[in-house]
Amino acid sequence: MTVLTKTRPARKTTAPSVPATMRAAAIERFGGPEMLQVVELPVPTLDPGEVLIAVHTAGVGSWDADMRAGWSPGGKPRFPMVLGTDGSGHIAAVGSRVRRFHSGDAVYAYSFDNPKGGFYAEYVAVAADKTAPVPEVLGMKEAGAIPTTGLTALQGIDQALHVKRAESVIILGASGGVGTLAVQFAKLRGARVLAIASGDDGVKLVRRLGADVAIDGHHEDILSTAREFAPDGIDAVLALAGGPALDQCMEALNRSGRLAYPNGVEPEPRKRRGLRVIPYDAVAGVTEFAQLNRAVTAAKLRVPIAAAYPLQDAAEAHRRLAERHVLGKIVLRVR
Ligand SMILES: NC(=O)c1ccc[n+]([C@@H]2O[C@H](COP(=O)([O-])OP(=O)(O)OC[C@H]3O[C@@H](n4cnc5c(N)ncnc54)[C@H](OP(=O)(O)O)[C@@H]3O)[C@@H](O)[C@H]2O)c1
């Protein structure tokens, strides 16, 4: 079920003393969801530029499942491996060079393939410049869901596509983690948005999030809807899914149209003569999080959470992810 309610963030808490060990959902070797087991591990130590976050909520993404199954982008894997690329929490300690954060601050952060361990844990050590204050309009659960998807959605709309007021934009995969946010950011920039969602429930969701027109991309005719939506052709496509639906979106673009997709979309969009195809990766840093915080606040961003599992049910969360048709995002409740 999609939940759009918010849990108010505690902006500051008194930082509890940091224990020596913590609970974490880790894998001892690559494999299926059952590899995820809750174990006791040492709390990570801090480098001078890092913060220690007492995790409240961890995001669960398809890239986590890829890493659990054997994808090792950082080279040789180290076990036990704690998964989790993003999340929210409160600062529990800061490294000797960190001035921007203090114990108890409510933050959210992004750290891809962190060698010290990810967010499926009670504590995570993250570079301070990949950490930001939780925007006032978000609860802790919602903040924990969006560092990766929020940066990806906003950078797709702004840096990759440079979406402008009154342009016609297709968001393909609009009811997923990145798509539900991209619809709102494209509307924030004043675009007309045609959302290609998944299922009747996905269509209803993206309409509620502000899409001007929404259809089910698994069952409806994308090309004819796009031609009706923009008779002179679509200006820009943000592709969060690939395959035949994407081919139809590309067909609908006008002569100066452009298509952007975050790396990982499969099958990878094929280049076509005369068409600008822009692959990109989400970038996290102080500037990027400041941009995200401004856009989240201006859009009064709504963050659909499809399901929230306790940390000990991380394997169940991965099983649900594998079933697909996730509307918005799956998260782990760590605290
Ligand atoms: N490189 C980076 O920095 C980066 C960062 C974030 C994400 N990504 C990539 O971006 C992609 C999207 O990520 P995400 O987290 O948003 O994934 P997601 O939540 O799975 O969203 C993809 C959505 O596309 C939908 N979809 C698939 N085919 C469709 C069709 N024909 N019509 C309508 N909807 C369709 C899926 O619905 P069903 O499951 O119901 O079909 C799903 O809701 C992934 O490939 C991910 O790897 C890359």
Are 21-146+303-333 and 148-280 in the same CATH fold? no
Residue 219 token pair: 């069952």
Residue 138 token pair: 């978000």
Q: What is the CA(202)–ligand 1 centre distance, in A?
A: 13
Q: What angle do CA 176, 179, 183 make, to 5 degrees?
A: 140
Q: What is the CA(218)–ligand 1 centre distance, in A?
A: 13
Q: In sequence order, what E strands does the chain have?
A: 21-27, 37-42, 50-60, 81-82, 86-94, 106-110, 123-127, 131-133, 168-172, 192-197, 213-216, 234-239, 253-262, 276-280, 305-310, 329-333
**Residue 302 exposure: Cα atoms within 13 Å on the Cβ side:** 18
Report helix, strand or coil for 189.
coil
Q: What is the CA(43)–ligand 1 centre distance, in A?
A: 33
Ligand 1: does its nearest atom lie under 6 Å from the Cβ of 219?
A: no
Atom of ligand 1 nearest to the CA of 179: 16
Ligand 1: does its nearest atom lie under 6 Å from the Cβ of 61?
A: yes
| 86 DSSP β-pair partners | 110
Best mutation site among 180, 198, 327 for ligand 1, i.e. most ligand atoms within 8 A of its Cβ?
198
Mean pLDDT value across residues 266-284: 91
Question: Cα–Cα distance between 266 and 244 in angstroms, integer?
Answer: 11
Mean pLDDT value across residues 318-322: 98
Quickly tell me which residue has 């400041």 as its tokens.
Answer: 290
* 114-130 residue pLDDT tens: 999 999 999 999 999 99
Is residue 103 within a helix (H) or strand (E), and if so which, with residue range? Answer: none
Quote the pTM value: 0.96
* 209-237 residue pLDDT tens: 999 999 999 999 999 999 999 999 999 99
- Assign 15 a pLDDT band (cuts: 50, 70, 90): low
Q: What is the CA(265)–ligand 1 centre distance, in A?
A: 7
Nearest 5°: phi and psi at 29? -160, 165
Q: What angle do CA 327, 333, 335 make, to 5 degrees?
A: 155
Ligand 1: does its nearest atom lie under 6 Å from the Cβ of 128?
A: no
Ligand 1: does its nearest atom lie under 6 Å from the Cβ of 314?
A: no
pLDDT at position 270 over 90:
no
Atom 41 in ligand 1: residue holding the nearest Cα: 325
Atom 12 in ligand 1: residue holding the nearest Cα: 240
Ligand 1: does its nearest atom lie under 6 Å from the Cβ of 150?
A: no
**Domain map (residue ranges) of the chain:** 21-146+303-333, 148-280
Mean pLDDT value across residues 57-75: 95
User: For strand 86-94 and strand 123-127, is the pairing parallel, antiparallel, or unpaired?
Assistant: unpaired
Ligand 1: does its nearest atom lie under 6 Å from the Cβ of 181?
A: no
pLDDT at position 29 over 70:
yes
| Residue 133 C-alpha from the chain's centroid | 17
Closest C-alpha to 282, from 65, 110, 60: 110
Ligand 1: does its nearest atom lie under 6 Å from the Cβ of 246?
A: no
Q: What is the CA(173)–ligand 1 centre distance, in A?
A: 5
Report helix, strand or coil for 45.
coil
Q: What is the CA(198)–ligand 1 centre distance, in A?
A: 10
Per CATH, the number for 148-280 is 3.40.50.720
* 168-184 residue pLDDT tens: 999 999 999 999 999 99
What is 21-146+303-333's CATH topology? Quinone Oxidoreductase; Chain A, domain 1 (3.90.180)
pLDDT at 5: 46
Instruction: Kindly list the distances between the CA atom of residue 10 and the CA atoms of 14, 104, 148, 209, 216, in Å, as whole numbers in the listed order.
Output: 10, 9, 22, 26, 38
Atom 21 in ligand 1: residue holding the nearest Cα: 176
